[in-house]
Amino acid sequence: MDVDKLAFTRSTNTGQIVLGLAAKSNLKPVTLELGGKSPFIVCEDANVDEAVDLAHDALFFNQCQCCSAGSRTFVHELVYNEFVEKAKARALKRLVGDPFRKGVEQGPQKPDTKDLALMDIISNQPFSQMFRDINEVIRRANATHFRLAAGVFTQNLDTANTLTRALKAGTMWINCFDVFDAAIPHGGYKMNGHGRENGISENTRSIRKIFENIRNIQKISENLYSNIRNYPKYPFPNMKKIIKIKN
């Protein structure tokens, strides 16, 4: 009863219990950041090499233990084979072992698995899925109850705008992933939880945020971003604009 607010990050099942207990006590507000299955969408005109590197980091960051991990990768059929071949090669180079040893990228894992087979991760998990058109990938990307984040990789401004408006996620990244700012609210929808962290959280419960890395979008009108140089610089490379829109 003496606690004014709770913030919880973990599994969805436990989050439901926490929310129920808070309601039974003093109806304290609860911020929940729970499970996530974030889509990572690679369009036909994307920079494949850059997308492969970011997809690798989006999935394997922090030993694959990240709430916003890009664990559902959708790749357009025109670049699918190239993407999968390069993603597999990148994954096989990932060094697993003692995290205190120089060069090791992957540390703690299941006990007694000295030789972690990253091939199993690639072969047996839905790491990459092929799509043919934008309507298909929107439908499949939204086919989840977890709505924390999403990444889109394209050089076409129309495609980027269409996907950022159609995808149901609390955070949208365009040609980048896992980019954060302490002043911008972060959080998801539905079974991912509710509430926002960072920013003025109490007043931004339904705010989505979209990060655009416009370096790789070629079809941007000069007039549309004529005042781009007036935007404040953020502590991330190539970040020029942050857009906040209400869902």
Q: Are 156 and 219 in contact (CB under 8 A)?
A: yes
Tell me the average pLDDT of the chain: 77
pLDDT band at 196 (very low <50, low <70, confident <90, very high): confident
Summarize pLDDT for 33-86 with one digit per residue, the tens.
887 789 999 999 999 999 999 999 888 887 777 778 888 999 999 999 999 999
What pTM does this model have?
A: 0.73
pLDDT for residue 242 is more than 70: no
pLDDT band at 150 (very low <50, low <70, confident <90, very high): very high
Summarize pLDDT for 87-146 with one digit per residue, the tens.
999 988 888 888 888 988 887 666 554 444 445 444 444 557 999 999 999 999 999 888
pLDDT for residue 201 is more than 60: no
| pLDDT at residue number 78 | 97
| Residue 33 a catalytic site member | yes
Q: Hey, which residues does 6 pair with through a beta bridge?
A: 30
pLDDT for residue 153 is more than 80: yes
Q: Are 217 and 175 in contact (CB under 8 A)?
A: yes
- CATH architecture of the domain 37-186+199-246 equals 3-Layer(aba) Sandwich (3.40)
The mean-pLDDT minimum among 86-100, 153-167, 222-236 falls in 222-236
- Catalytic pick among 33, 50, 77, 197: 33
In whole angstroms, what is the distance from residue 38 CA to residue 54 CA?
13
| pLDDT at residue number 154 | 95
pLDDT band at 238 (very low <50, low <70, confident <90, very high): very low
Residue 18, Cα to own-chain centre: how many angstroms? 25
Domain boundaries, the chain: 1-34, 37-186+199-246
Q: Is 23 left (phi over 0), alpha (psi -120 to 50) or beta?
A: alpha
Q: β-strands 6-9, 171-174: how paired?
A: unpaired
pLDDT band at 182 (very low <50, low <70, confident <90, very high): confident
The mean-pLDDT minimum among 28-32, 124-128, 199-203 falls in 124-128
Single-letter residue type at 153: F
Percentages of the chain per state (helix, strand, coil), in multiples of 5: 30, 20, 50
| pLDDT at residue number 54 | 93
| pLDDT at residue number 128 | 72
pLDDT for residue 12 is more than 70: yes
